[in-house]
Amino acid sequence: FGSARIVGEEDSMGLGSTLGCTYPFLAPEMCGIPSDEDDEEDSSPFLDGVDGVSSPTAEMPYQGDLWAAGITLWTMLVGKLPFYSTDLSKLFNTIARCDLPVEDLRVSTRDAPPSWLTQLITSLLRRRPSDRPQASEAIEMVPVVI
């Protein structure tokens, strides 16, 4: 997520990455900052050379992709990112430690989104990777429309 670009297009958010991703879409476990909920060292940071961030690891688990899908859905629905700062250290701290502004889902949309969509987004954006649904479970949350 976040690695596709139009050829010749500048990074309009100013938050592009040498990692091939867009920082606001990083999952909390990828930020290298233990969340307030962490009771054990299960953080798997991969951002090296960024102030306040631990050493890198080689792979990004699929739970990070589910988080990024939740950020994408959130942004499509609300019209803005749930977590944003041009200061990377602040952004990573916000992603790792701040609560999801769920009220934005209700306030920022003209009509209330369907409950299944709110449930899907909030489940994809659970801070702990083990609390997020599996991809197959996320797909089952979407009603079939014919």
Per residue in 60-72, pLDDT tens? 568 899 999 999 9
pLDDT of residue 74: 92
Q: Are 83 and 24 in contact (CB under 8 A)?
A: yes
pLDDT tens for residues 84-129? 998 989 999 999 988 888 877 766 556 778 889 999 999 999 999 9
Average pLDDT of the segment spanning 2-13: 47
pTM tops 0.75? no
Q: What is the pLDDT of residues 10-58, one digit of tens each?
A: 554 455 554 556 899 999 988 888 766 554 444 444 444 445 444 434 3
Identify the pLDDT of residue 14. 52
Note the pLDDT of residue 124. 96
d(CA 73, CA 46): 24
Cα torsion 39, 45, 47, 49: sign = positive
Do 106 and 78 touch, CB atoms closer than 8 A?
no
CB 85 within 8 A of CB 94: yes
Q: Show the domains of the chain with their CATH numbers.
A: 23-140 (1.10.510.10)
Whole-number pLDDT of residue 104: 76
CB 132 within 8 A of CB 66: yes
Give the pLDDT of residue 7: 45
**Chain-centre distance for alpha carbon 14:** 17
pLDDT, average across residues 74-90: 90
What pLDDT score was predicted for residue 120?
95
Return the SS3 of 40.
coil
**Considering only CA atoms, which of 6, 32, 37, 15 is closest in space to residue 99?**
37
